[in-house]
Structure 1
Amino acid sequence: MLAPASPPGGSACAGPDGGPNAVVSPASLAVALAMLAEGADTTTRDALDAALGASGGARTDAFNALSRAVGEYDGDPAVVQDDELPDTPVLHLANQAVVDDQLTPLDTYLDALAEGFGAGVQRTDLGGEEGKAVLDAWTNEHTGGLIDESAITPDPDLRLVLQNAVLLAARWQQPFTDTRDAEPFTLADGSEVRAEAVWGTPNAAYVLHDGWQAVRLPYTAGFHADVILPPDEAGTMSDDGAPAAPDADTWATLDAELTAAEPRSVELTMPTLDLETGPVDLCAALHDAGLGELYEEPDLSGISDQDLVLTQAFQQVVLQVDAEGTVAAAVTELGMAATSAPLGDVSMTVDRPYLLRVTHTDTSWPLFLAAIGDPRH
């Protein structure tokens, strides 16, 4: 195949699989990018700052403040394996830099990660199973076993992996009183299915705005869940059956009205959830956010004297919702590799039957001609 050359993992991004369900963790991705930004310079730093909405010391301070704000809820991530959810929510955040034994990172960068993000550092061989085991163990530990292993693939050129984990275990302030096995649920194509659902009459903020319904369900402390139901009309579903998201103005209005609304009794029926995504390749999302340079020729000179380029970026998320409350975990991982030889103007991948011709140059006399249908030997 002849095509314009693409950077490793770059503009030829694998798109999402699509489908009616999706779950992401904006917080986990933002923290991972903020850790990367600590080592970025020039246009790469500017792009990261624009995506994150803060720059320099203000960016570091902002993420530090967010971590402190939720720090009182930190706890053992293994709580998600208990039979019952904790009385007080647990929100566990963790960050790590895994450094390949062929990279010498700058002390200033590691200090910034430790001071700004509480990130630990492990050194290993990221080119083989030893490094994979380190990444897997950390992922499993900090998600309480909800996510078994890292999404990063070992590679001889891999030099640095940044990992962020977010885990929540929270009980509803008013648990639902009933779980029903087969409540009707209408799909985007109009067909009806039956799904397990919870039912109750919690006291909660409820608003109706331009056909959008929203209810804010508080957990026992510190956190809440907003359930947003689009209008029942054409145009509120995407082609793959997922619900359409409200525009920015509608989001802002719903949030403001929910915050101002007085709680009232709401008869609420909603499906239970047990979703698991991933690993989801973040390549397309990063390009859409103006961060394609990370895959091309980024300036990450604040990390190391060695030139680095982003080659792997993944997020995995688990979300479980039932009558008792919510359990969720996310891991975001960014893998940087040593840059190799410059890319050509085009790339060619021989990935189907092909011909091979061996020719004498001066006379153009073909010495050998082969048709290759199966290259195994």
Structure 2
Amino acid sequence: MEPNLWLRNSALGAVVLLGSVACGGEQDGDLRSDVEYEPASLAEADAIAQVVAASTEFGAESLAELAQGENLVLSPASITVALAMLAEGASGPAAEELEELLGAEGAERSTAFNALRAAALEYDGDPAVVQEDELPDTPVLHLANQLVLNESATPEEDFLDALAAHFDAGVVTTDFGSQDSKNLLDAWVQEHTGGLIEQSAVQAPDAALVFVLQNAILMAAQWQTQFDPSSTSDRDFTTADGGSVQAEMMQRTLETAYTEHDEAQVIRLPYTDGFAMDVVLPAAGSAPEDFTAEDWAAVDDALAGGDRIPVELALPTLDLETSQELVPLLEQMGYAEVIAGNDFSVIGSAVEISQVAHQAVLTVDEQGTVAAAVTEIAGVTSAPVDPPETVKMTVDRPYTLRIVHQETNWPLFMAVINDPTAG
């Protein structure tokens, strides 16, 4: 992999749970939980299947809504982990919506996300590995979570305990009205994405901010069998609008898991250990974003058979970076109570969600894959509003009026008054 393909300074956002690098911030010992992180095993997590299915469904629906014929990369894992952390501070309608979105509730949900994180972190490593000339022999998957609080915030202890116990999320306090808060967010994002994502997407400084939940995920992995760069060549690629471009195509024949579903071809490309990329080529005329969670479930069942066949594969190299604000998507999906903050009083009073920002990077070449994402959930409270200056209005000349149905502004009556004393 050429360094310039994946040693980028990208400004991509993903809902980020802030790590404990306190550049420009201040650690507050009174706010940090005394509870230690206790990794859960997959065997003890009864809701793993439901949480994984819900994450896949959210990812598939998000691609269907957001791609619209354009390139889009996102991390369902990053987004749902950030939302799961938010769920630890939710009650009422917001909690019910998050239970639906995440596929589980209460302790079962917490344990499931804990176990998924613990299993993935068997491959944890220094995110700076992406700055090396060669990808690591063993895949690296780095995950990080953090809660950044306004220095005046006083969340309930149970919320902080849950973040520590299940997500290994520390707490940093800051003055969100100062530039230091933005520097703190940026520094954490840079560290935990190995510099692939350069800045936080949270709009700061902003004195109305109460908290920012951050999650970062980074992966660097070699293919189990690498492509030969000398076999890479430009080939025709038909775009979503029916046009044609010359794409750089890697090519090789390999024996691997392969299936067909609803006229789509599906191939599994394993990395050296622990991970694989599943590539779906829909039937001609079908849109890739129409591949649903149900389709993915059928593919999972087929690939679980483990049958391997020879496949002559041509696959484009990729170098993508995307950034999305997910609040409109969540509202459209039916999670309006979450965005409205109904309610997050466990975290702070009168809190609503102002941003769910997601940034992601993906590079694919002959050597392997580098990917990173950050998800950041920002909660705000309504800032005190200065009373408006008094306006004086003396109706002492001809004027016009209307009487309306207030909800629709349907004009029931309209008039012009030139002389109020005349009949």
Picking from 204, 219, 238, the partner of 1:168 is 219
Partner of residue 228, structure 2: 177
Match of 2:342 among 298, 316, 327: 298
SS of residue matched to 1:85: coil
The equivalent of 1:346 in structure 2 is none
Query: Structure 2 residue aligned with 1:317, among 333, 338, 360?
Result: 360
Q: 1:363 aligns with which of 375, 385, 396?
A: 396
Which ranges of structure 1 fall in alignment gaps of 5 or more residues? 1-14, 238-242, 343-357, 367-377
1:146 aligned partner, one-letter code: L
- For residues 17 and 249 of structure 1, the distance between their equivalents in structure 2, rounded to whole angstroms, comes to 19
Identity within the alignment, %: 49
After TM superposition, the structure 1 = structure 2 runs for residues 32-111 of structure 1, keeping only pairs within 5 Å, are 32-111=82-161
Alpha-carbon separation, structure 2, partners of 1:64 and 1:330 = 19
Deviates more, 1:185-194 or 1:153-162: 185-194
Amino acid at match of 2:308: P
In structure 2, distance between residues paired with 1:98 and 1:359: 45
- 1:121: how far off? 1.1
Q: Name the structure where strand makes up a greater proportion of residues.
A: 1
Q: TM-score, normalised by structure 1?
A: 0.82
The answer to whether 1:336 aligns with 2:379 is yes
Q: Which has the higher helix share?
A: 2
Contact kept in structure 2, 1:359 and 1:365, CA below 8 Å:
no
**Counterpart check, 1:282 vs 2:323:** no
Whichever residue aligns with residue 339 of structure 1, its letter is: S
The worse-fitting range, judged by mean Cα deviation, of 243-252 and 97-106 is 243-252
How far residue 211 of structure 1 moved from its aligned partner, in angstroms, is 1.4
Of 314, 330, 347, the match for 1:269: 314
1:202 maps to 2:254: yes
Q: Is the 8 A contact 1:205 1:215 kept in 2?
A: yes
> What is the one-letter code of the residue matched to 1:202?
L
4+ aligned runs moved over 6 Å, structure 1: none
One-letter amino acid of the counterpart of residue 23, structure 1: V
TM-score with structure 2 length normalisation? 0.74
Q: Name the structure 2 match of 1:217.
A: 269
Give 1:141 deviation, angstroms: 0.3
**Match of 1:45, as an amino acid?**
A
Specify the code of the residue in structure 1 equivalent to 2:261.
H
What RMSD in Å do the two structures reach over aligned CA positions? 2.0
Q: Mean Cα displacement is larger for which, 78-87 or 290-299?
A: 290-299
Contact 1:51 1:289 in 2 (8 A): no
Q: Deviations over 1:76-122 (max 9, x none)?
A: 01111111111111110100101111212222211211111000111
Distance in structure 1 (CA, Å) of the matches to 2:212 and 2:183: 13
- Structure 1, residues 26-60: CA drift from partner, whole Å, max 9, x if none? 10010000100101111111111111111111111
Distance 1:211 1:51, change over 3 A: same
Q: Secondary structure at the match of 1:185?
A: strand
Aligned to 1:7: none
1:226 matched to 2:278? The reply is yes
Tell me how far 1:359 sits from its aligned partner.
6.9
Is the CA contact 2:234–2:249 (under 8 Å) kept in the aligned structure 1?
yes
Answer with 102-111 or 118-127: which moved more.
102-111
Whether the 8 Å CA contact 2:264–2:283 is kept in 1: the answer is yes
Counterpart amino acid of residue 214 in structure 1 = V
Q: Which ranges in structure 2 are unaligned for 5 or more consecutive residues?
A: 1-64, 386-390, 400-423
- In structure 1, what is the Cα distance between the partners aligned to 2:265 and 2:346? 47
1:146 is paired with a residue whose SS is: coil
